[in-house]
């Protein structure tokens, strides 16, 4: 369930609070076995809410790789920046990405890595055929890093450029800039060396 609010039952007395605590603990144990399993389920749900709300487009055969990259960046950036509908889910995901717990490591393996695999497939269409896996990975991290920076540095960016300019940084504007910048870097990658190191 992708609810924007946290459900917090309010007990009417200390006695009912104690009973509610026991019922909640019993429910957690019944459905999830322990708090760690509950937390993993919460993380999976938070990530799935973003993915289902903003899926990657299905590209028909013959779609140019540059178009796929632009679409990919637009969706990933929107997933990162539009958190008004799911604020606690995004806070949880950002915390786990910055400092992963054991549950967060599972999230990366099960959900984040497949996102990178989609990006790697797009970049393989754009990069020279002799590009190393390391260069492919670094290129993908550069693309995602630009998106992620706009997620975590909103306040400093607004302070540096001023509120008026910052208001003009729509998701579409940022996505177009990141895509153009990334495509420029990818296309500058030479076939012999894999690009500037």
Report the alpha-carbon distance of residue 186 to residue 178 in Å, rounded.
12
The torsion defined by the Cα of 142, 143, 144 and 145, in degrees rounded to 10, comes to 40
**Alpha helices, DSSP H, located in the chain:** 14-32, 35-53, 65-81, 87-98, 102-107, 113-126, 133-152, 154-161, 163-167, 171-187
What class is the 18-187 domain?
A: mainly alpha
Report the alpha-carbon distance of residue 28 to residue 32 in Å, rounded.
5
CB atoms within 10 A of CB 182: 24
Q: Say which residue the tokens 């490591």 belong to.
A: 105
pLDDT per position as a tens digit, 38-56? 888 888 887 777 777 778 8
Q: Mean of the per-residue pLDDT values for the chain? A: 81
Assess contact for 107 and 43: CB atoms under 8 A. Answer: yes
Assess contact for 59 and 121: CB atoms under 8 A. Answer: no
Looking at the chain, the whole-number percentage of residues with pLDDT higher than 70 is 79
Q: Is 82 helix (H, G, I), strand (E, B) or coil?
A: coil
Of the candidates 36, 43, 46, 38, the residue with the CA atom closest to the CA atom of residue 4: 46
Mean pLDDT, to the nearest integer, of 94-111?
81
Q: Is-above-0.85 flag for pTM?
A: no
CB atoms within 10 A of CB 191: 11
pLDDT of residue 193: 47
Report the alpha-carbon distance of residue 56 to residue 110 in Å, rounded.
17
pLDDT per position as a tens digit, 150-186? 988 999 999 999 999 999 999 999 999 999 999 999 9
Rg of the chain on CA atoms, in Å:
21
pLDDT per position as a tens digit, 71-94? 999 999 988 888 666 677 778 887
């Amino acid at each position: 369930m992708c609810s924007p609010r946290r459900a917090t039952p309010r007990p009417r007395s200390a006695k009912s609070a104690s009973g509610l605590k026991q019922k909640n603990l019993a429910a957690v144990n019944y459905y999830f076995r322990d708090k760690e399993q509950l937390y993993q389920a919460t993380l999976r749900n938070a990530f799935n809410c973003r993915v289902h709300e903003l899926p990657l487009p299905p590209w028909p055969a013959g779609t140019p790789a540059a178009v796929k990259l632009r679409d990919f960046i637009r969706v990933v950036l929107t997933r990162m920046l539009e958190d008004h509908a799911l604020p606690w889910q995004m806070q949880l995901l950002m915390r786990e990405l910055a400092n992963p717990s054991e549950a967060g490591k599972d999230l990366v393996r099960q959900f984040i890595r497949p996102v990178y695999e989609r990006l790697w497939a797009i970049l393989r269409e754009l990069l020279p055929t002799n590009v190393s896996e390391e260069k492919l990975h670094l290129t993908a991290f550069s693309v995602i890093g630009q998106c992620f920076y706009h997620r975590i540095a909103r306040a400093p960016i607004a302070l540096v450029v001023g509120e008026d300019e910052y208001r003009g940084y729509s998701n579409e504007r940022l996505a177009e800039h990141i895509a153009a910048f990334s495509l420029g870097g990818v296309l500058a990658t030479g076939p012999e060396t894999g690009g500037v190191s």
